Amino acid sequence: MLMLLILCLQFQGASISELIDPVEEPEIPRSTDAGSFMPGSADRDLYLLGPGDILTAVVEGGTSEALLAAGVSPWAYYAVSGDGWLSVSGIGAACVEGMTLNEAQDAFQQKVSRYYPALRVALSLAQPRLVRMEIRGMVGEPGTYLMSALSRVSDLVTTAGGITTFGSRFGTLLTEEGDRLAVDLHVDPSTGLFQSDPYLDRGSAVVFGECVSPVFVTGYDLSQVWDCRDGETVRSLMDGMGGVGDMDLSASRLVSDGASLPVWSVEEGLLRTPVHPGDTLMLVAARMPVFVGGAVNVPGPLEYIPESTVLDYVLLAGGAVVDANLDGTRLLRGGDVVGTGGDILDRRPRAGDAIEVPYTWISRNSDMLSLLISLSSVALTVWAVTK
């Protein structure tokens, strides 16, 4: 009977372990932003400490044997506890939640000074805490992410795959206290930073909606929609996008109300032509030059001319030198050889291609030939003397 009872219990235990699966939390992607943090990059007067932060406490000048015996370490890592307290060995503990780094350092300096007036303690952020943030709306991969407390909304957007084609750059950061902070990911031309890009440490979620006043931007390897803000002009729109980049502004146009308007002039640069919702900004990438090097008279970059051949570019580079080997000419694209030999002289390169005209074998090995001739002369001289 006892053996039967044991067998029944073992069977029941195995059945329970097989039938009841443990409840696991969904895996939350973790941002690489926390891993790229460099100590000292946190603003000591703005970053607010909280549970999970890891700090470094350094006693300047080191410690004596007596201080070591009292538990004072010259250098160590300490974590802010879940209730916001920081305990430093041999010095004491203080609630640092909500304090800046400088305020926390002053608090511990006061504790040190009571017992060791000559000592100075320095606190620095070794690793920021992680915050769980949700992002919703018009981003590539909405969801929940673990981000560094030093991250901003723009970092979360990048981690979530960026703003989608028809997404707005205006968003909202919902805080844990129930407040709503405005987000504006248009670039401020005076600083080169986003107009409003709050830190994530106070937030619980970020929301980006659909663009309601769109300006369509095409060409230049992109097809996007940008918000048409109040009083928008070509210049302010391009500034909000982060600048002009590598574009041929003289060929770029604004299509507005059926008219094709220039966006740039030699006299004024980017124009202040008004932009309205529904307009299309057509950007044209700047044409890269064609590079010609090797056995030509004037090697260097040349303006791209669509109908020109390899031989045309060689002539534009001053022509081949006397000891050039035109039959060995090479055409390179992106670092790879796409053609070689005399047959490519009639081919039409693309913008950004490189043309390499080699020297003849005799020219490339002239030093070796001179050495061989010299050695031969010496050998003949020695032979003649010995005879």
Domains parsed from the chain with CATH numbers? 54-127 (3.30.1950.10), 130-210 (3.10.560), 214-283 (3.10.20.90), 290-364 (3.10.560.10)
Region 147-157: mean pLDDT is: 93
Distance, in Å, from the CA atom of 264 to the CA atom of 287, rounded to the nearest integer, reads 17
**Whether the predicted pLDDT of 8 surpasses 50:** no
List phi, psi (to 5°) of 310: -60, -45
Residue with tokens 């504006």: 184
SS3 content of the chain, % helix, strand, coil (to 5): 25, 35, 40
User: Which amino acid, 233?
Assistant: T
Q: Residue 119 pLDDT more than 50?
A: yes
List pLDDT tens digits, range 315-350: 999 999 988 898 899 999 877 888 888 788 999 888
Specify the pTM. 0.63
Q: Which residue has the higher pLDDT, 383 or 346?
A: 346
Predicted local distance difference test score (pLDDT) of residue 174: 95
The Cα-based distances of 112 to 25, 59, 90, 338 in angstroms read 43, 10, 9, 71
Q: Could you tell me which residues come within 8 angstroms of residue 10 by beta carbon, excluding any fewer than 6 positions away?
A: none
Strand partners, 132: 146
Measured between alpha carbons, how far is 78 from 57 in angstroms, rounded to an integer?
A: 7
CA–CA separation, 332 and 337 (whole Å): 4
d(CA 196, CA 188): 9
Q: What pLDDT digit, counting tens, does each position of 82-107 carry? A: 999 999 888 889 999 999 999 999 99
Are 238 and 190 spatial neighbours (Cβ–Cβ below 8 Å)?
no
Q: How much of the chain exceeds pLDDT 70, in percent?
A: 79
For 197-244, write each residue's pLDDT tens digit: 998 887 889 999 999 999 999 875 567 899 999 999 999 999 999 886
DSSP state of 308: -
Burial of 8 (0-12, 13-18, 19+ CB in 10 A): exposed
Nearest to 121 by CA among 38, 179, 61: 61
What is the average pLDDT value for the chain, to the nearest integer? 82
